[in-house]
Amino acid sequence: MATTITGNELTLVIDSNDFHPQVLSVDLTVDDTQEVYETLNGPVYKTVTQPFSLNITMLADWGENGGLCAALQAKALGEGSSQTNRAPDTGIAFTMTQTGASHNTAFTGNVFPKVPPASGSGATVTEITFTLPGERGTLEVETTTNP
């Protein structure tokens, strides 16, 4: 019988900082770009690229020291009028690890920084959802046995 793994067994590290306490869900999506060639012997398939993205739903942490929203904004747009430290076309490292009863699976790669949405509604907690596109060719998957 399979063990059910919940979101509580998921960690998310972006640019060496652990953000899983405020992240509600993460979806890693891989979309194969595949070409089909019709040969005399039948179809032949060739995967050209495997683009991926991280779809993140989280509690907005704008205004928090060391928050993910500000970190992504700083990388994507920079700070102030001089926009120092701006690097929207430079991938930042991420690791998403799912911990199971007997094995851990770690997904690593680089994603491009984007400015998360900013919103608010009275005294309620603000949930935001956004997508970070992956840097081509950086996604790796490693499964290890738990000690």
Instruction: Give domain status of residue 1, yes or no.
Output: no
CATH number of the domain bearing residue 67: 2.40.30
Among residues 1, 23, 2, the alpha carbon closest in space to that of 13 is found at 23
Instruction: Give domain status of residue 87, yes or no.
Output: yes
Instruction: Give domain status of residue 53, yes or no.
Output: yes
Enter the pTM of the model.
Answer: 0.79
Instruction: Give domain status of residue 18, yes or no.
Output: yes
| DSSP label at residue 2 | P
Instruction: Give domain status of residue 2, yes or no.
Output: no
Instruction: Give domain status of residue 59, yes or no.
Output: yes
Instruction: Give domain status of residue 115, yes or no.
Output: yes
| Rounded CA Rg of the chain | 18
**pLDDT recorded at residue 40:** 93
**pLDDT recorded at residue 1:** 45
| Cα–Cα distance, 60 to 124 (Å, whole number) | 11
Domain range for residue 100? 7-145
| Cα–Cα distance, 16 to 101 (Å, whole number) | 25
User: What confidence tens digit (pLDDT) does each residue in 110-126 have?
Assistant: 999 999 998 877 777 88
Instruction: Give domain status of residue 122, yes or no.
Output: yes
User: Do residues 114 and 76 make contact, with C-beta atoms less than 8 angstroms apart?
Assistant: yes
Quote the number of domains for the chain: 1
User: What confidence tens digit (pLDDT) does each residue in 53-72 have?
Assistant: 999 999 988 888 888 998 89
Cα separations in angstroms, 29 against 54, 68, 86, 102: 7, 20, 26, 24
- Which two tokens mark 137? 């060719």
Higher pLDDT, 10 or 44: 44
Residues 6+ apart with CB under 8 A from 89: 112
